[in-house]
Amino acid sequence: MIDDGVRPVLGSPRKRRKGTEMAVASGEILGSFYGDEEFPIEWAEGERELFWIFDDLHCPNPVTPLFFDIGGWWLTCDHMFRRFGTPFACDWIAKCINGYVYTAAIPADPGLHAEATEYNARYVPRVPRDPSTPERIGAYMGAVLPHYAANFLDWWRERLRPEIERNFAYLDGYDMEAADLVELAVLLEDAIDIHDRHWKIHWMLNFAQFSSTLALNATIEEVKGGVDAGLVGRLQSSVSDRNWDSIEALWRMKEEVAGDAELREAFRGETAGDVLRLLDETERGRRFVSERVDPYRREYGYKAIWSHEFGFPTWNENPAPIVEAVRGYLESGYDYPSTLAGVRDDLERAVEELMDGVSDEPSRQKLQGALDLSLGMNPLTPDHHFFIDQGTNARLRIVLVAIGRKLTEAGLLDDAEDVLYLQYNELRAFMADPESVEARGLVSERRDERERAFTIRPREWVGTATEEALGFPYATLWGFPEKFHREPPAKKDEVHGLAGSPGVIEGPARRVASLDEADKVMEGEILVCQMTNPAWVVLFTKIAGLVTDAGGVASHPAVVAREFGIPAVVGTSDATARIKTGDRVRVNGATGVVDILS
């Protein structure tokens, strides 16, 4: 969610960092970083003047060239800002630096001119011609946002979600194996158009949620005289959405396995591959796969460990993560009904706490109306992840891999996923005329570049930091402006981040780089990772606490940790570099401090 109430405060001058130019004396530029030997940067016209944030929220790993060209969430942001008439920005662009995605908001300033790249082509962000537009257009946004908040749920149920599901049915029903390259080339353009449309819906949903939350906060302030951020966070929990549906389906599989000796024996296999092989050896096991695992793949499998990248297989393509999730539920004795009941009970208590003391009937009705509108929006957070971040991106990947298989079968590439290392127009030219692109050489070179990028630790931000840039409302999702102003910890055994979910917990740390290591996470451990997304939710059923490098107080790890009642510190930047598996740590989710005890 956007928190328009967060604005940066000019701090005192800070020590100059290596490779950083400081110009705090003017009161305008707070800091700048334009590259150094360890993190070199090439700049195009107008880029240095912008504030670029490392997108570890969505893309914590180096990205493939094709994802950067056609898969990014930023590709429809000009539409978002135009549609809503935002006075604080008119576009949002991306730059690939040393393999990592950085994004910058474009202020609605007619004097600004910046270069960008979209769809493998030069792109110049649109800015208003009239300098008075930002001042005047804010009234338009203020007028329409409440209308979105009041009506979006109906639009979503009656028009937008059915549209998304029709698009999915078209892509899922297409016989890609029987199609030739020309047909797949056209299908790719359809998939790109669908991706574009779904992300436009995403921004409509996002702004509708923003408006309802803004209205609730304003009403609480008016009626009760103050807003408790922790209470508002609890009021954003969802108890009925596609994420819970997915968890319930996994839990039902776990219950079936737990009650069947033959299935339990198969699930004793050391790896997911072993389990699947053992299941395939018996009639009961094959029936479990056909009646449970395969339907789950088709309904919930359009997701990957990292949804914002084409380079990770989906659960639909590879059922191993499904098996690992069920096995994890078996080992932990996960109880879905009691977990959901706990979330529902906490939500009900939060509602009671909010309404407590409001005896004046008009005020009570006004607060209840704002609350009901906000509560109705809660399922849209996990649902938009399911349908858009996960489902839409996954289907675009599947089309690309189908193209890759055709090219591999024709002897033009060595692996189906090699297509991901071509740029958008290179791929299209290659499909039409294989002689026009030296694909194998490009793929080899770019695979090596991406591997090298994994050895680089990306900076949190680059470019020019100003008060206005740090005040961009969406920057709070990445933990700004707090991250920018945060001083290094005074103690070497402390890690500082943002208070993601209240509570204090002490226990052994488990550093996890990917869901491939999910089976190593033990009951009661503190999960330390770069970032989480809905594919990671299975781990929340057995961890005692959470620490992430990325994210803000409204990001996925913070929201889900609050739903599960797990203390969490998010947005630390360097927890995975400083905490190792086996370290005993204390996580204080109220202060945002992690103590490394031993």
pLDDT at position 18: 37
pLDDT at position 24: 30
pLDDT at position 11: 30
Q: How far is CA 333 from CA 279, 328, 507, 515, 582, in A?
A: 21, 8, 20, 20, 23
Q: Assess contact for 471 and 9: CB atoms under 8 A.
A: no
Q: What would the pLDDT profile of 367-400 be if each residue is shown by its tens digit?
A: 999 999 999 999 999 999 999 999 999 999 999 9
Rounded CA separation 6/485 (Å): 13
Residue 506 has pLDDT above 80, yes or no: yes
pLDDT at position 470: 94
Residue 2 has pLDDT above 50, yes or no: no
- Partners of 510 in the β-ladder: 527
Out of 138-152, 222-236, 512-526, 544-558, give the one with best mean pLDDT. 138-152
Query: Average pLDDT of the chain?
Result: 90
SS3 406: helix
- The contacts of residue 68 (CB under 8 Å, 6+ apart) are 94, 96, 101
Q: Is the peptide bond before 567 cis (omega within 30 degrees of 0)?
A: no
Q: How far is CA 309 from CA 24, 46, 71, 90, 118, in A?
A: 37, 27, 7, 25, 16
Pick from 105-119, 252-266, 502-516: least confident: 502-516
Residue 23 has pLDDT above 70, yes or no: no
pLDDT at position 27: 40
Radius of gyration, alpha carbons of the chain: 24
pLDDT at position 461: 97
Residue 518 has pLDDT above 80, yes or no: no
List the structure tokens of 5. Answer: 């109430």
Residue 288 has pLDDT above 60, yes or no: yes
Q: What would the pLDDT profile of 443-453 be if each residue is shown by its tens digit?
A: 999 999 999 99
pLDDT at position 5: 32
Length of the chain: 598
Q: What would the pLDDT profile of 417-476 be if each residue is shown by its tens digit?
A: 999 999 999 999 999 999 999 999 999 999 999 999 999 989 999 999 999 999 998 998
Indicate left, alpha or beta for 99 from its phi (over 0: left) and psi (-120 to 50: alpha).
left
Q: What would the pLDDT profile of 327-336 be if each residue is shown by its tens digit?
A: 888 988 899 9
Give the DSSP H/E element, type plus range, for residue 377: helix 361-377
Count of other CB atoms within 10 angstroms of residue 241? 18
Residue 563 has pLDDT above 90, yes or no: no
Give me the residue spans of the domains in the chain: 20-127+457-483, 142-237+379-412, 242-338, 489-596
The yes/no answer on whether domain 489-596 falls in CATH 3.60.40.10 is no
Q: Assess contact for 91 and 107: CB atoms under 8 A.
A: no
Is the Cα torsion angle 53, 55, 61, 66 positive or negative in sign? Answer: negative
Residue 206 has pLDDT above 70, yes or no: yes
List the structure tokens of 428. Answer: 């299209």
Phi and psi at residue 98, to the nearest 5°: 55, 35
SS3 596: strand
Q: What would the pLDDT profile of 258-273 be if each residue is shown by its tens digit?
A: 999 999 999 998 888 9
- The contacts of residue 183 (CB under 8 Å, 6+ apart) are none
Pick from 173-177, 401-405, 485-489: least confident: 485-489
Is the Cα torsion angle 172, 428, 309, 413 positive or negative in sign? Answer: positive
How far apart are the two ends of the chain, measured CA to CA in Å?
36
Quick one: pLDDT band at residue 22, thresholds 50, 70, 90?
A: very low
* Amino acid in the structure at residue 480: F
**65 CB-side CA count, 13 A:** 21
In this prediction, what percent of the chain has a pLDDT beyond 70? 95
Q: What would the pLDDT profile of 130-164 be if each residue is shown by its tens digit?
A: 999 999 999 999 999 999 999 999 999 999 999 99
Q: Assess contact for 490 and 589: CB atoms under 8 A.
A: no
Q: What would the pLDDT profile of 571-593 be if each residue is shown by its tens digit?
A: 998 899 999 999 999 999 888 99
Give the DSSP H/E element, type plus range, for residue 118: strand 116-118
Q: Assess contact for 221 and 364: CB atoms under 8 A.
A: no
